[in-house]
């Protein structure tokens, strides 16, 4: 069964550093998403991406965040200057309008120290 692949699985970074979280969505999916889950809390929507542009973003997705689809397969989330409160699990997801399948990756646990 097709998978959404996220790398790395765990990243530790120092406060103020830039991080890039990487995702490879399912190949025939056209809609891409990032979600965040702070430890012990619910999963929160960050941003959706379609047709090479952001289609919706939440209040969490401020100027420190950006997304990019640099080639035909990768979908990245960049945090420019990490803060302690950015420590969370970040999930990538992709979906298909035809089947409305909605698949999550296994997540990247980001720890900011």
Binding site for other proteins (CB under 8 A): 30-31, 33, 35, 41-45, 48, 50-51, 55-56, 89, 91, 93, 95, 97, 100, 102-104, 106-107, 109
Residue 106: both structure tokens together: 């296994």
Instruction: Pick between residue 9 and residue 81 the one whose CB is nearest to other proteins.
Output: 9
Instruction: Pick between residue 15 and residue 66 the one whose CB is nearest to other proteins.
Output: 66
Instruction: Pick between residue 66 and residue 104 the one whose CB is nearest to other proteins.
Output: 104
Cα(37)–Cα(42) distance, rounded to whole angstroms? 6
Instruction: Pick between residue 44 and residue 74 the one whose CB is nearest to other proteins.
Output: 44
CA angle 71, 75, 80 (to 5 degrees): 110
Nearest distance, CB of residue 47 and other proteins, angstroms: 9
The answer to whether residues 45 and 35 touch, using CB atoms and an 8 Å cutoff, is: yes
Cα(95)–Cα(93) distance, rounded to whole angstroms? 7
Residue 13: both structure tokens together: 């970074």
Region of residue 71 (left: phi > 0; alpha: psi -120 to 50; beta: else): beta
Nearest distance, CB of residue 30 and other proteins, angstroms: 8
Nearest distance, CB of residue 104 and other proteins, angstroms: 4
């Amino acid at each position: 069964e097709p998978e959404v692949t996220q790398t790395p699985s765990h990243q530790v970074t120092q406060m103020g550093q830039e991080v890039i979280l990487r995702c490879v969505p399912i190949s025939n999916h056209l809609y891409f998403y990032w979600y965040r889950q702070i430890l012990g809390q619910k999963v929160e929507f960050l941003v959706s991406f379609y047709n090479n542009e952001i289609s919706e973003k939440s209040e969490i997705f401020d100027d420190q965040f950006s997304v990019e689809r640099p080639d035909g397969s990768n979908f990245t989330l960049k945090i420019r200057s990490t803060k302690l409160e950015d420590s969370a699990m970040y999930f990538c997801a992709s979906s298909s309008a035809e089947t409305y399948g909605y698949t999550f990756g296994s997540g990247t646990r980001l720890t900011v120290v």
